[in-house]
Amino acid sequence: MKYKLSHPDRIIGGEINLPASKSIANRLLIIRALCKDSFTINNLAPSDDTQVLNSVLNSLGKEETIDVGAAGTTMRFLTAFLTLQEGQRFTLTGSERMKKRPIGVLVEALRELGASISYMEEEGYPPLKIDGRFLDGGSLTINAGISSQYISALLLIAPVLKNGLKLTLEGEMVSRPYIEMTLSLMEAFGIDVEWKDNIIQINAQEYQEQEFTVEADWSAFGYFCTIASLAKQNKLVLNGLFKDSVQGDSVFPEYGSLLGLRFHFMKPYFHLIKGFEKVDQIEIDFTTFPDQAQTLIVWCAALGVSGNFKGLQTLKIKETDRLLALQNELSKLGVEFKEGKQGVWHLKGKIKQDQAVEISTYKDHRMAMAFAPLALVLPSLIIDDPMVVTKSYPMFWEDLKSLGFKIEDLN
């Protein structure tokens, strides 16, 4: 499937109800499954990842083979959760890309806690064979420079381990806000947490049920910032965000303001205002909010803002190698994106606005949504495999249509 995108007048106006955060929703689903009493989760994210996790947790005991598809967070969280299901055996698998995404660090950590997990194909990668059993817990050291999802998976199960968990984080930490999000949500459900220096201590205790409403996704916020910025005229309001958010992506306005936007918050609405002076060059460390990298880098390229970017190492093991994907697709638009010394990536050039372009998405939802706003400045933009957006934002294309975008299904 391919979509051809255009916008007849580049005048944007309307309100968008942003989708719920799948990062928050997925953590809440695990917490609910570990809680003795169930509770209501309002505004559960409609994303594929969240729906897959919810479905699996609702059908435990009925299926020995669990296929999570491309849902990375679901794979990591379930790996930890399923080890606790005494007397049950599971095969945990996923898409072909998932089978190439490493999980060895988490598996080894869980084995140290007494889990029974074996690899069914390649060592260090899914699919996994998991025999559920009672775990004592204890002390553990883990590399903090790997995916924060491994650390969150361990933290979420920590309270139900017999001896709790003393987790020592070793090395430079990536995606710290996601760990902080996990702990903040655990505390909201009655868990006492102690984090001092590089050690997180969680004693054995019980989650306390309560009704919870999921806030909107700050990752989705960025796509509409690009749209507001590239529009000829803009009157755009975004609904559902919390200004004081547990999401690391909520730092986005800091960088958006450098690119000529201003943000006016009137709970629960964000008004995006364009027309302010932008910088010519920008430096961003994405260590704490890597999910916004594609959005900001493409936005910079559209404006001709050169950039130096670091903290991108985790992008290589996402739905695709996002750095290579960005490099390939930006080169089609006449923009150079290449790696320099010490892991710093450099962006140079401005998107050529006189050509029709087809963007490959590499089965990555963020590739589709980061590049889609370019339909405002290109004569024609084709997005290949556009329905990858269902992973996090199923209504994305409908929301673009509500803002005047013309979307033609080329099939």
Confidence of residue 83 (pLDDT cuts 50, 70, 90): very high
State how far the Cα of 129 lies from the Cα of 89, in Å rounded to an integer: 7
**Is a pLDDT exceeding 80 seen at residue 269?**
no
Which residues make beta-bridge pairs with 306?
281
As a whole number of Å, the CA-based R_g of the chain is 21
pLDDT, average across residues 7-16: 94
What's the whole-number average pLDDT of the chain?
Answer: 93
- Residue 160's nearest CA partner among 134, 185, 193, 130 is 134
CATH number of 2-19+216-409: 3.65.10.10
Which percentage of the chain shows pLDDT scores above 90? 79
Tokens found for residue 90: 């599971």
**Is a pLDDT exceeding 90 seen at residue 208?**
yes
**Is a pLDDT exceeding 80 seen at residue 64?**
yes
Residue 142 exposure: Cα atoms within 13 Å on the Cβ side: 31
Q: Any idea where the domains of the chain sit in the sequence?
A: 2-19+216-409, 22-213
**Is a pLDDT exceeding 90 seen at residue 200?**
yes
- Which residue numbers are catalytic? 291
**Is a pLDDT exceeding 90 seen at residue 142?**
yes
Give the burial class of 347: count Cβ atoms within 10 A of its Cβ; 0-12 exposed, 13-18 middle, 19 or more buried. Answer: buried
Do 249 and 296 form a contact (C-beta atoms < 8 A)? Answer: no
Q: DSSP states of 272-309 as a string?
A: EE------SEEEEE-TT-GGGHHHHHHHHHHHT-EEEE
- Residue 250's nearest CA partner among 273, 217, 225, 296 is 217
- Residue 189's nearest CA partner among 212, 155, 217 is 212
Do 9 and 403 form a contact (C-beta atoms < 8 A)? Answer: no
Residue 105 exposure: Cα atoms within 13 Å on the Cβ side: 19
**Is a pLDDT exceeding 90 seen at residue 298?**
yes
**Is a pLDDT exceeding 80 seen at residue 266?**
no
pLDDT, average across residues 86-111: 94
Fold identical between 2-19+216-409 and 22-213?
Answer: yes
Q: Which residue has better confidence, 271 or 161?
A: 161
Give the burial class of 185: count Cβ atoms within 10 A of its Cβ; 0-12 exposed, 13-18 middle, 19 or more buried. Answer: buried
**Is a pLDDT exceeding 90 seen at residue 265?**
no
What is 22-213's CATH superfamily?
A: Enolpyruvate transferase domain (3.65.10.10)
Confidence of residue 271 (pLDDT cuts 50, 70, 90): confident
Instruction: Please tell me the predicted confidence (pLDDT) of residue 114.
Output: 94
pLDDT tens sequence across 145-183: 888 899 999 999 999 999 999 999 998 887 788 999 999
How many residues are listed for the chain in this entry?
A: 411
Instruction: Please tell me the predicted confidence (pLDDT) of residue 184.
Output: 95
pLDDT tens sequence across 371-387: 999 999 999 899 999 99
pLDDT, average across residues 37-57: 92
pTM of the model: 0.88
Confidence of residue 62 (pLDDT cuts 50, 70, 90): low
pLDDT tens sequence across 325-361: 999 999 999 999 999 999 999 999 999 888 889 999 9
Q: What does DSSP say about strands 194-196 and 345-348: parallel, antiparallel, or unpaired?
A: unpaired
Q: Which residue has better confidence, 268 or 200?
A: 200
**Is a pLDDT exceeding 70 seen at residue 268?**
no
State how far the Cα of 72 lies from the Cα of 101, in Å rounded to an integer: 8
State how far the Cα of 356 lies from the Cα of 4, in Å rounded to an integer: 10
